[in-house]
Amino acid sequence: MFEKDLLNSERFIRAFEESGSVGESRGMIPLHLDGLNLYSKTHSYGEYIFDWAWANAYEQYGIPYYPKLVSMIPFTPATHSHLKSSPSLQEIETTLLPRHSSCHFLFITPEEIPHLKEAGYLIRESFQYHFFNEDYSRFEDFLLALKGRKAKTIRQERSFPDLKIERLTGDKLSIDLSHEMYDFYLQTLERKGAIPYLTKNFFERLFTDFSENCLYVRASKNESPIAGALFYYDADRLFGRYWGASQEIRHLHFELCYYQGIEFCIEKKMKRFEAGAQGEHKIARGFRPVRTYSAHRIKEPAFERAIRDFIEKEKSEVSEAISYLNGFLPFKDLG
């Protein structure tokens, strides 16, 4: 079944919990209210809005920062609507916040900002890199919108004569392919020294229960898989999520994680491809810096003042970074 709004699908959220990727043993206890995806967390992993410095400051003063409340799509840094009803904020304030240091809404929509500010939340700004489909008919149309030298570089980066590259979705996905991608996921995390929160069963569910919302791009050499990239998508957006490779091949990461995603968006007439935060190399490949927002209710007054000052300073830094990065966009009409 195709989910037109994947990130607001209760079925999608349940997949994280029922697969064991989210739960008490993972330091992430579901506390859902009125359709609000809320978790009591004992750490800050998997959030993509970083507050480790805040947690360290609490620790230095002997005040517990964990557990904290977080509203989010687990391990998915994508803007989505959180507030289905205003009573959720009231219930957080009266019943849940007294047992937690703070409450954090990650990747909120601009429309939610006034409601959260009125409820005493600090609004923090960050940015990601997004590709916008300007009604391109084919990948070559996208290249024609770029400066000649940039387009030439991308064409060169896409040359893999010894590899077979496939885009698989829907009934082309299988349990065996989910295991293949899970192995690539583990390889990447092992190299980074990161924690594999997503379970094998979660990947199995994605490739079966959500096959119409998942894109798996795989590269193989001599009929053997050597790399894979996993994406989610709904009616309007493609979300880049995980990648891994068993061999180091120059530019293969760009091909599987960026160019294949762009091509898929153009083919499916999707409006946006969200490739996540970090990685200034995305700029030269057609991704624009886009402001994102989060909201934070800090219960301790002294820390609330310090974090408010930090957030205001950070907003200026984000604006400066976006302005600077926009100067390197590769499009002809942007100079």
As a whole number of Å, the CA-based R_g of the chain is: 21
- What is the share, in percent, of the chain residues with pLDDT greater than 90? 92
75 with 140, same domain? no
**How many distinct structural domains can be found in the chain?**
2
Residues 47 and 83 reside in one and the same domain: yes
Instruction: Please check whether residues 71 and 170 belong to one and the same domain.
Output: no
The answer on 182 and 244 residing in a single domain is yes
Closest by CA to 85, choosing from 35, 119, 30, 10, is: 35
- Residue 8 placed within a domain: no
Amino acid at 31: L
Q: Which domain holds residue 198?
A: 134-270
CATH classification of the domain holding 184: 3.40.630.30
153 and 124 housed in the same domain? no
Q: Quick check: is 14 in a domain? A: no
pLDDT score, position 256: 98
25 occurs within a structural domain: no
Predicted local distance difference test score (pLDDT) of residue 86: 67
Is residue 258 domain-shared with residue 140, that is, in the same domain? yes
In a domain, 241, yes or no: yes
In terms of domains, do 259 and 317 share one?
no
Q: Report the half-sphere exposure of 149 (CA within 13 A, side-chain side).
A: 3
pTM of the model: 0.95
Query: Is residue 80's pLDDT more than 90?
Result: yes
Q: What is the pLDDT of residues 43-72, one digit of tens each?
A: 999 999 999 999 999 999 999 999 999 999
pLDDT-derived band of residue 279, with 50, 70 and 90 as boundaries?
confident
Question: Do 95 and 66 reside in the same domain of the chain?
Answer: yes
The answer to whether position 283 is within a domain reads no
Rounded CA separation 108/81 (Å): 6
Q: Residue 246: inside a domain, yes or no?
A: yes
Q: Are residues 163 and 224 in the same domain?
A: yes
pLDDT per residue as tens digits for the range 262-276: 999 999 999 999 998
The Cα–Cα gap between 126 and 48 comes to 10
What percentage of the chain has pLDDT greater than the value 70? Answer: 99
Taking only the tens place, the pLDDT of each residue in 145-204 is 999 999 999 999 999 999 999 999 999 999 999 999 999 999 999 988 888 999 999 999
The mean predicted confidence, pLDDT, of the chain is 95
139 plus 257 within the same structural domain: yes
Residue 294 lies in a domain: yes
- Same domain flag for 110 and 176: no
Which backbone phi and psi does 136 adopt, to 5 degrees? -70, 145
Residue 318 domain-assigned (yes or no): yes
Same domain membership, residue 158 and residue 106: no
Q: List CB contacts of 81: < 8 A, sequence separation 6 or more.
A: 8, 109, 111, 112
Mean pLDDT for the stretch of residues 105-125: 97
Closest to 198 in 3D by CA, of 214, 211, 182, 219: 182
pLDDT at 276: 80
